[in-house]
Amino acid sequence: MAEEKYGHPDWRFSVYVQTLGADNLIIDKLTIGAYTENRRTLQNNATETSDFEGISPTAHCAKFYPRGCRGAITKIYIYVRNAYSFEVAAKIGFSPFPTIAPYKTVDVTIPANYGPDWLTTDCLINWPFDSLFITVSAEVLASLGYDEYVPYDAYYSTDGGETWTPQNRRYWIKVDMYAQTVGDVPVSGTITAIPVRMGTTSIAQKLDALEPETTTDLITINEPGKSLALWLRSGHDKDVSFTITLDGSKIWWPFYLDYFTPYHFASSNLASPNPLMGLNYYTDGGICELYITVPFEWQKKAVVIAENSSTTNSYFVGACWWYLKSI
């Protein structure tokens, strides 16, 4: 049974849902506006800046909108200054929280001798989260405006976005959003949540020559993801070792080490077909190929590190990583 309540500007309905073996559900707020677009600008800044903060490859500035951000991002505005006589490339990142790497990024160009002024960039980014953390960085030093009024919402990073520190200021960053929801719909009772996977398959790959007694980051993924399959190529079964880190933590392997070589796989009976990891090809003292299909997940960064322990020989190493990229 449904009870209609007519009024202006919204028509409100109380909807009663009878369930089997559980409490009945009561959804007591639905409006006509629930299926029409709510377009607005997310903005929290004063009318005058207090100062400017430098942005660079390591110095990142950010603004956090903790509520009401579900919809489509259509424009991004940053109040910047470029004192150089050449253009500066900047990058804007979007994530739900400060502890998660950007799900989406937008490249922008700050013109030579620009500002200080608002720089507007058109985009179309689906954003299904209620919160929005926006980061700004640049390839060389540029400046982002801020004020020091409340409510504060600023964060700052000195290590390229690895860690963030809250600040008592507000960076001048704003976004236009379309298709926003009208707000929460209060529900009482028992609800079954069905997770919906939103992602796309991506690939990272590299082939490199590894000099004697050297280490290299063979693959670095700077976004949240889930591993589908990892292929590794080694020029030697013992001299070349691999390490995998997820959000800064090393993965430990069945042979009680935080690194591995093809020889470890061969001596651990992983030479035969195995659903999670094994050897595609093995040569004693020569070229080897490995695969790993363990479904690792990470929030910020995944890295494959290759190390050559030989004092005299160089080896080619390679990696190809298929992973599920969030949204």
Same domain, 155 and 120: yes
pLDDT digits (tens, 9 = 90+) for 41-88: 999 999 999 999 999 999 999 999 999 898 999 999 999 999 999 999
- Where do we find the tokens 């919906």? 196
- Flag whether pLDDT at 7 surpasses 50: no
CATH code assigned at 77: 2.60.120
Count structural domains, the chain: 3
Burial 68-77, CB ≥16 within 10 A → b, else e: bbbbbbeebb
End-of-domain residue from the set 163, 194, 225 = 194
End-of-domain residue from the set 167, 194, 221 = 194
Same domain, 146 and 215: no
| Residue 252, number of CB atoms within 10 A of its CB | 12
CATH code assigned at 295: 2.60.120.1390
Same domain, 238 and 222: yes
Same domain, 87 and 19: no
Q: Which amino acid, 100?
A: I
Same domain, 239 and 168: no
Measured between alpha carbons, how far is 206 from 27 in angstroms, rounded to an integer? 53
Confidence of residue 92 (pLDDT cuts 50, 70, 90): very high
| Residue 62, number of CB atoms within 10 A of its CB | 24
End-of-domain residue from the set 166, 194, 222 = 194
Same domain, 52 and 167: yes
Q: Which has more confidence, 255 or 21?
A: 255
Domain hosting 281: range is 199-326
Measured between alpha carbons, how far is 167 from 98 in angstroms, rounded to an integer? 13
Q: Looking at the whole model, is its pTM more than 0.75?
A: no
Same domain, 247 and 300: yes
Same domain, 292 and 204: yes
Same domain, 143 and 218: no
Q: Which of 19-23, 97-101, 270-274 has the highest mean pLDDT?
A: 97-101
Across 29-113, the runs of DSSP E, i.e. the strands, are 40-42, 51-55, 60-65, 71-82, 88-95, 104-110
Same domain, 226 and 322: yes
Same domain, 171 and 210: no
Confidence of residue 187 (pLDDT cuts 50, 70, 90): low
Same domain, 60 and 78: yes
> How many secondary structure helices (H) and strands (E) does the chain include?
1, 27
